[in-house]
Amino acid sequence: MRRRQSAIETYRLGEIEYLLQYKRIRRMYLRFKMPEAKPFVTAPFSTPLSEVEQFITVNLEWIRKQQRRQEQLALQPVRRYVSGETVYVWGAAYELLVLTDAEMARQLCGLEAAALLQRGRAFVRTENRKLILACPEAFDAAQREECLDQWLKRQVEAFLPVVFQGCGSIVGKRETSWYVRKMKTRWGTCNIRTGRICINLTLGHLPPEFLSYIVTHELTHLWEKGHGEKFRERMDLYYPQWKERRKEIMKLAYMI
């Protein structure tokens, strides 16, 4: 019986350390594997190492770009979700104010916030460039982050129907359904078979035009599967500023 795949092994080509796994496939593939933060090649069993190295060399610019991206991501501030930190909502900077006292929550946010806090639940609102989070004192950083994420998700979900309608009228395709979730490596995904689109929650931290850009991008995949010449031609037609947005979105992502 033929092997379906081999163990993942580490190789080096010059300054590039990469992972290699042989599989029962027809062509080579390259991706960036996390958490190792290394290029990962999957190749057919019959592929000689020299061809793998040539494949790495051809894609060296892409590999270095991914390495620079990971280095920049590592420089992102570590958030503790305490008062005084900056949180971005639709591209605007808000100062986080964390309230753990029910009476203070009542004074600043009203009876609903105080009642939720007394029941061990959280309340979030924006006011005068402050993002107010009323939550139990026992909530750690991860719980506070989850509270803010759930609030932001509701903001994005409320905005998306209008965005999908507008972008869909330009692209000439409509999604069958959509949903929002937090993703580490993609701004959006499109299942071209079902027409279902996923939007990264993190876009709620960026200016609204980036949400339109990503929705247009994913809807365009309903015309073209990959990112080849035909896809780029359609993006030029549907969203002429898409190349600028693509560069800007990575720079902004390191601020949030």
pLDDT tens for 165-180 read: 999 999 999 999 999 9
Beta bridge partners of 191: 196
Distance CA 126, CA 138 (A): 22
* The pLDDT value given to residue 1: 45
List 33's β-bridge partners, or say none. 38
The answer to whether the peptide bond before residue 35 is cis (omega within 30 degrees of 0) is: yes
Confidence of residue 75 (pLDDT cuts 50, 70, 90): low
3-state secondary structure at position 15: coil
Q: Is the pTM of this model over 0.85?
A: no
Q: What would the two tokens of residue 238 be?
A: 């549907």
The whole-angstrom separation of Cα 63 and Cα 16 is: 9
Are 39 and 57 in contact, with CB atoms under 8 Å apart?
no
Cα separation of 54 and 37, whole Å?
Answer: 21
Q: Any idea what DSSP says for residue 5?
A: B
Report the alpha-carbon distance of residue 225 to residue 235 in Å, rounded: 13
Single out the residue of 156, 140, 38, 163 nearest to residue 79, CA to CA.
Answer: 140
pLDDT at 254 over 70: no
Q: Three-state secondary structure along 136-148?
A: CCCCCHHHHHHHH
Q: For 43-67, how does the pLDDT look when each residue is reduced to its tens digit (9 = 90+)?
A: 999 999 999 999 999 999 989 888 8
Q: Is a pLDDT exceeding 90 seen at residue 68? A: no
Catalogue all structural domains in the chain, each as residue range(s) with its CATH number: 9-74 (no CATH), 86-139 (no CATH), 152-253 (3.30.2010.10)
Mean pLDDT of the chain: 91
**For the segment 102-152, what is each residue's pLDDT rounded down to a tens digit?**
898 888 889 998 899 899 999 999 999 999 999 999 999 999 999 999 999
What gap in Å lies between CA 124 and CA 176, rounded to an integer?
31
